[in-house]
Amino acid sequence: MDKRRDKIRTKTTEKNLKNISIDNIDDFLDEDYSHEKKAVSRGQNRNKKSLKRDITLEEGLITGIMTNNMFKVRLQGEEVTALMGGRLKQFMFNQRRVMAIGDKVKIDTAQGSPYRIEELIERRNKLMRYSEGSYQKEILIASNIDYAIITVSCVQPMLKLGMIDRFIIQCGIDNIEPVICVNKVDLVEDIEYYREMLAYYVTSGYKTYFVSATTGQGISELKDLIKDRISVFSGQSGVGKSSVINALMPSLDLKVGEISGFNEKGRHTTTNSELLEWEFGGFLIDTPGIKTLALKRDNVSLVYNKFPGFDRYSCYFNNCTHTHEENCGVLDAVERGEIPQKVYESYLRVIESVNYE
Ligand SMILES: Nc1nc2c(ncn2[C@@H]2O[C@H](COP(=O)(O)OP(=O)(O)OP(=O)(O)O)[C@@H](O)[C@H]2O)c(=O)[nH]1
Ligand SMILES: [Mg+2]
Ligand SMILES: [Zn+2]
């Protein structure tokens, strides 16, 4: 009997889906919800508002993903475990969506534990990456974030511009402000060398911090920026993401890799993304290290526009690839030395990888 009802319900959901613009998920879920309520409370007042009084929906924040259906949620200041409600599950499945850390949800608190997530509140933004290999699976790093903190280290592992470039491009596509955090300055004698390497990015307007998790250098400046904001720390394994977070708030005491850990391939100290709260206000997401940040292959034209700093130059052709065209502002800037040769070479590698990866 129950099964049949579920079937009918699924059918209704599908029927509704056809008429709904997927962009406006909030509206859809509200409407869908009221449909279900109507089904169970026939004869009652069918006004949407009055039906909603039967339940208590509270806003929660997804802080961890336990399985594809079970989540850690911050609800009324406490961390609880919650399951995705049946309708929402169906909706997410139909839309090929997955929940992300940072998602805001509505939870029916009237029913108590186990809590059920009834709605996903529309995302302000989401940071994506794509798996390597021929089939590019979408991976959602986090949603609703203010800063993507691209963490690199001067050495151990060595600083490579490619990772920064790819991250900035992805942030440009996803509409998230990138911040560059260069860690382990205590390990190098000539910090000027690294400042010069990053000077182009600073001139292009990207916030850049030189820090040491070990000595605490630069940490308070970074703290001033991320206070009261939501930041996600991302980057290669071993660059010191968790260490920098611990330096910002020692009581978090996140697990940090062993000294020699960084060069052992495939070794990650942080294995799960997690959303935590700063004691000085705001939130952070620590993520496991990644080897490279693959961009979506069919996005090559986005790379022409979103490559760091290129928006400061204009080209004669709208779809300029900045490789051979006449009147190309980027090529002129390379010639003048305004765009360093190393940065331009990194650009060529990125577009090549997006074409043939
Ligand atoms: N000398 C020095 N070592 C550091 C610094 N920050 C981190 N380390 C060391 O670098 C290693 C890796 O640090 P983690 O914080 O675990 O790096 P992670 O980026 O979180 O790595 P994953 O969790 O694997 O992605 C550890 O041995 C840290 O002690 C720093 O500022 N200076
Ligand atoms: Mg870590
Ligand atoms: Zn151009």
CATH number at residue 113: 2.40.50.140
Q: What is the mean pLDDT of residues 237-253?
A: 97
Q: What is the pLDDT of residue 258?
A: 79
How high does pLDDT run on average in the chain?
84
The values of phi and psi at residue 32, to 5°, are -60, -40
Which of the residue ranges 30-34, 207-211, 349-353 would you say has the lowest mean pLDDT? 30-34
Kindly give the pairing relationship between strand 283-286 and strand 230-235.
Answer: parallel
Q: Which residues surround ligand 2, an ion (CB under 5 A)?
A: 241-242, 269-270
Q: Which residues line ligand 1 (CB under 6 A)?
A: 183-184, 186-187, 212-214, 237-243, 256-259, 261-262, 268-270, 288-289
Count up the domains in the chain and report the number: 3
Give residue 157's domain range: 143-286
E strand spans, 184-291: 207-210, 230-235, 274-277, 283-286
Place of tokens 């529309």: 122
CATH number reported for the structural domain that contains residue 349 in this entry: 1.10.40.50
12 shares a domain with 106: yes
**For residue range 48-91, what is the model confidence (pLDDT) as tens digits?**
444 444 678 999 999 999 988 899 999 998 999 999 988 888 88
Question: Which residue has the least CA distance to atom 8 on ligand 1?
Answer: 240
Tell which atom from ligand 1 comes closest to the C-alpha of 290. Answer: 25
Check pLDDT > 50 for residue 160: yes
Q: Tell me whether residue 347 is in a domain.
A: yes
Which of the residue ranges 16-20, 260-264, 314-318 would you say has the lowest mean pLDDT? 16-20
191 shares a domain with 109: no
Nearest-10 Cα torsion for 139, 143, 147, 150? -10
Check pLDDT > 60 for residue 47: no
200 shares a domain with 97: no
- Tell me which of 212, 256, 263 to substitute to probe ligand 1's pocket, judged by most ligand atoms within 8 Å of the beta carbon: 256
Which of the residue ranges 34-38, 73-77, 134-138, 225-229 would you say has the lowest mean pLDDT? 34-38
**For residue range 79-135, what is the model confidence (pLDDT) as tens digits?**
999 999 888 888 888 877 889 999 999 998 887 788 999 999 999 999 998 887 777
pTM value is: 0.83
Q: Tell me whether residue 133 is in a domain.
A: no
43 CA from centroid of ligand 2 (Å): 56
Q: Tell me whether residue 86 is in a domain.
A: yes
279 shares a domain with 155: yes
CATH number reported for the structural domain that contains residue 197 in this entry: 3.40.50.300
Q: What is the pLDDT of residue 263?
A: 52
Separation between Cα atoms, residue 236 and residue 239, nearest integer Å: 6
217: left (phi over 0), alpha (psi -120 to 50) or beta: beta
Separation between Cα atoms, residue 39 and residue 1, nearest integer Å: 15
Check pLDDT > 50 for residue 146: yes
Q: How confident is the model at residue 284 (pLDDT cuts 50, 70, 90)?
A: very high
330 shares a domain with 196: no
314 shares a domain with 270: no
Among 260, 286, 312, identify where a domain stops.
Answer: 286
Q: What is the mean pLDDT of residues 3-23?
A: 43
18 shares a domain with 115: yes
Q: What is the mean pLDDT of residues 193-197?
A: 96
Separation between Cα atoms, residue 357 and residue 350, nearest integer Å: 10
